[in-house]
Chains A and B, each alone.
Chain A
């Protein structure tokens, strides 16, 4: 594979990279080249720098070279510790995001900027958490629920509330393994403690702890993030949008929303519709204000408002290269610090808003949640006023964009499923139709394709190829994060894409009126996926690990992805990784993750850098799980003996 071939699946990304070269602008790809081959010790996870006796690096080969760090830690310990810390960081990121949203809900008021948009969802949650609702003001309920959520981060006793949503057998497994997370922050702290020098020095124990911490993400932080975002900003319903850099408009003020937390982006959406600001935009000579989303914040606003998707992680620099972005507004997570030097080359304003993620060289306008709308208006005004500074000779907007249908929350999926319910047989509002097509084999299974971009793989190639292969084989795909944006750009989230699906999935798409790849939201919204899987398992009376369901991260890169992979696995769903995690220096850890965890959780990791091979492995695994379902008697039926046609004899005829 040549260097340029490695870069991107998308021809227009290549054009922008060429443009960067011509204009002397450095991109992620240049830095990747400068980096040369990565350090083998770090790549294999056998480098440790958690105390000042180090850094230590031990040999990844047994019996050769340094076998232990100065303190005596083996490769197994070092790898497992590093891995556990990745999980802790990922969990921390998702959880701090969730905490913010819970705070916002605590702040919500009838006449404030933040209101309750989905009262029903709030009331359901209140009931689940045994908050009295009768005769109470909805905002009092909201505040009480928010406080309970905020306590989930640091409560002194008990385990997380949302764990109760899991299928019964799953809860028993967690119980037995002692990996029911207690409080979210506590699990993160415990990992940091146990991975301190001279503490846990047993790989299996660290993997256990990692699972518990990761579960605190999936069934804690992320789930709170999603639930509360829906309550505050509305539960997504199917809607149309467009994706790829072609959504940037030459004659409009382009604002790139990048980051994660919807509390900011929701307000920016509101601000961008403010008549005064729209008028100002016209005054500066623009035709309007064009919001375009990137990464998970992009997903949040596209799911709820149909805001167009500019691109995914890898395209954040490329978007600026178009020369038409007045402002990149960011909050937290997955923001390249290189946006500072890149935006310096253009008129683009790089605006950071969160005290949790300040970036040297960026314009910091702190987002004030107490005065959220006003604050957001100030930021949008900055962007509008920047329109006049565009460098006309540097403008280049690639024309490509694709139609996408987004907004498939669990609630929306169930509503679509209602379309195929025969009212004479079944009640509405259940996952039965989904369970039925899986049992019958019309759908072979389901795959959650999630995760980032990574310059180690060709941009979007893994996402798209895996998705195409799976849907062609009648496996329905649900997707979030940057994988979802890859799908949107490739047209796979349009209903039209059903023609790429196998006949079984095609039939389901037509009957249910959905695309073959369902955009379920941002990274925290992977909690929607585990909810959907768990609801289906509960409906069928089995555990998640009994279902022909797989989770896939073809191009993952972040620590959040590591946390996600671990909670998905610990929830009983096999996880397929297209980028090797830094664990290969320890055969013990590799064995644990790709083999032994299965005995504990019913699921494990599969790793291969070849996406197509990975897809084949998934299909095999899905069929294995189907066999298992048949053994459980769930995907089989009885037939009677035929007594005529098969034995029709000529004598009976003449």
Chain B
């Protein structure tokens, strides 16, 4: 398949999953059943930013499905392909919202799932000052745990905020990577759709710090592109769904760097097979310059460790 066909396939898969799941949920709980993410004033942030509409019930989500459908027009052009990527993001948010609607604790440690407004507000200042120079989204599965740990720790040592999605979480745990908000490594979830919780962070940055009005999608995309220094590392075999989610990232201005053979798009979708170079490649692609020079001490030293408590047995 060509790149756009893959994206459309993935977007349609995400749509079908969201649609199917919503139908099941409505069958079980009825349209009036409440939908909300915890601790946020922005309802379902991606949908809210894109449409200006707050989703309160499963019934409302049916409307959101309409939004997804309208975003998927399968023409062989970049613009519809990026829109289809956004559609995948919305589908993912619908799926994740249903998880929260039907289950009080859909995510358990180590996975964070949805990130609260309070957390985002606390990240605002270090992001603006460059204390957090970038946001890395590491997704999929590395060839082994050591590689995963190397990449993640590299970001950690440079002060980046790293979100993990998929099997890489287990790999990080296996390799003893220390995680937590204060350590700037946050495992989100195992499903690809959980990546929406980091998209949600970027979008809420636009709503909260950018003051961009809900419903002005183009302006939100402008904001994330210019102000949220995020990028994606997609490791391991790429499914159509992941590629289509990647298109969503690109639409928001976040380059995708993968270890797989893909149809590269300069500065936006890149292949880097040398894991030692993944960090440098990603930082260059997103134009991130690290402010502080690294200090050659034996332990990783960076702001990410400021909040670390040295436990007794360490």
Q: Contact: A639 with B243, CB < 8 Å? A: yes
**Is A2 among interface residues, defined by CB-CB distance under 8 A?**
no
Contacts of B211-247 to chain A: CB distance below 8 A: 236-243
**A442's closest neighbor in chain B, by CB?**
B78
**B-contact bits for A316-358, CB 8 A (1 contact / 0 none):** 0000000000000000000000000000000000000000000
Taking A422-B267, A425-B271, A642-B13 as contacts, is the C-beta distance between A637 and B76 under 8 angstroms?
no
Residue from B2, B193, B265 within 8 A of A630 (CB atoms): B2
| Interfacial chain B residues near A437, Cβ < 8 Å | 265-266
Q: Contact: B77 with A502, CB < 8 Å? A: yes
Residue from B4, B78, B192, B242 within 8 A of A507 (CB atoms): B78
Residue from A421, A474, A630 within 8 A of B78 (CB atoms): A474
Q: Contact: B284 with A423, CB < 8 Å? A: yes
Q: Interface segment, B16-24, B151-159, B290-298?
A: B16-24
Q: Contact: B192 with A504, CB < 8 Å? A: no
| Interfacial chain A residues near B280, Cβ < 8 Å | 424
Taking A433-B266, A442-B265, A639-B239 as contacts, is the C-beta distance between A650 and B102 under 8 angstroms?
yes
Q: Interface segment, B46-54, B66-74, B92-100?
A: B92-100
Residue from A440, A637, A645 within 8 A of B191 (CB atoms): A645
Q: Contact: A503 with B79, CB < 8 Å? A: yes
| Interfacial chain B residues near A640, Cβ < 8 Å | 236-239
Q: Contact: A422 with B284, CB < 8 Å? A: yes
Q: Contact: A511 with B267, CB < 8 Å? A: yes
Q: Contact: B6 with A645, CB < 8 Å? A: no
Contacts of B277-308 to chain A: CB distance below 8 A: 277, 280-281, 284-285
Q: Contact: B1 with A420, CB < 8 Å? A: no
Distance in Å: Cβ of B278 to nearest Cβ of chain A: 9
**Is B144 among interface residues, defined by CB-CB distance under 8 A?**
no
Residue from A422, A637, A648, A650 within 8 A of B3 (CB atoms): A637
Q: Contact: B238 with A639, CB < 8 Å? A: yes
Q: Contact: B266 with A635, CB < 8 Å? A: no
Contacts of A620-654 to chain B: CB distance below 8 A: 623, 626, 630, 635-642, 644-650, 653-654
**Is A441 among interface residues, defined by CB-CB distance under 8 A?**
yes
Residue from B2, B99, B262, B281 within 8 A of A425 (CB atoms): B281
**Is B25 among interface residues, defined by CB-CB distance under 8 A?**
yes
Interface of A is mostly: loop
**B250's closest neighbor in chain A, by CB?**
A507
| Interfacial chain A residues near B6, Cβ < 8 Å | 637, 639
Taking A623-B76, A630-B2, A637-B1 as contacts, is the C-beta distance between A646 and B263 under 8 angstroms?
no
Q: Contact: B193 with A424, CB < 8 Å? A: no
| Interfacial chain B residues near A473, Cβ < 8 Å | 77
**B-contact bits for A101-115, CB 8 A (1 contact / 0 none):** 000000000000000
**B-contact bits for A461-495, CB 8 A (1 contact / 0 none):** 00000000000011000000000000000000000
| Interfacial chain A residues near B190, Cβ < 8 Å | 644
Q: Contact: A644 with B192, CB < 8 Å? A: yes
Q: Contact: B2 with A635, CB < 8 Å? A: yes
Chain A: residues with Cβ within 8 Å of the partner, total of 42
Q: Contact: B266 with A650, CB < 8 Å? A: no
Q: How far is the CA of A645 from the CA of B21 in the complex (A)?
A: 10
Q: How far is the CA of A402 from the CA of B34 in the complex (A)?
A: 58
Residue from B191, B240, B285 within 8 A of A422 (CB atoms): B285
Q: How far is the CA of A642 from the CA of B238 in the complex (A)?
A: 8
| Interfacial chain B residues near A649, Cβ < 8 Å | 21, 24
Q: Contact: A504 with B77, CB < 8 Å? A: yes
**B-contact bits for A441-474, CB 8 A (1 contact / 0 none):** 1101000000000000000000000000000011
Taking A637-B262, A639-B239, A640-B239 as contacts, is the C-beta distance between A645 and B76 under 8 angstroms?
no
**B281's closest neighbor in chain A, by CB?**
A424
| Interfacial chain B residues near A504, Cβ < 8 Å | 77-79
Contacts of A485-529 to chain B: CB distance below 8 A: 502-504, 507, 511
| Interfacial chain B residues near A444, Cβ < 8 Å | 76-77
Closest 5 CB pairs of A and B: A640-B237, A504-B78, A503-B79, A642-B239, A420-B266
- Which B residues are within 8 Å of any A CB, using their own CB? 1-4, 6, 13-14, 16-17, 21, 24-25, 28, 76-79, 81-82, 92, 95, 98-99, 102-103, 106, 190-193, 236-243, 261-272, 277, 280-281, 284-285
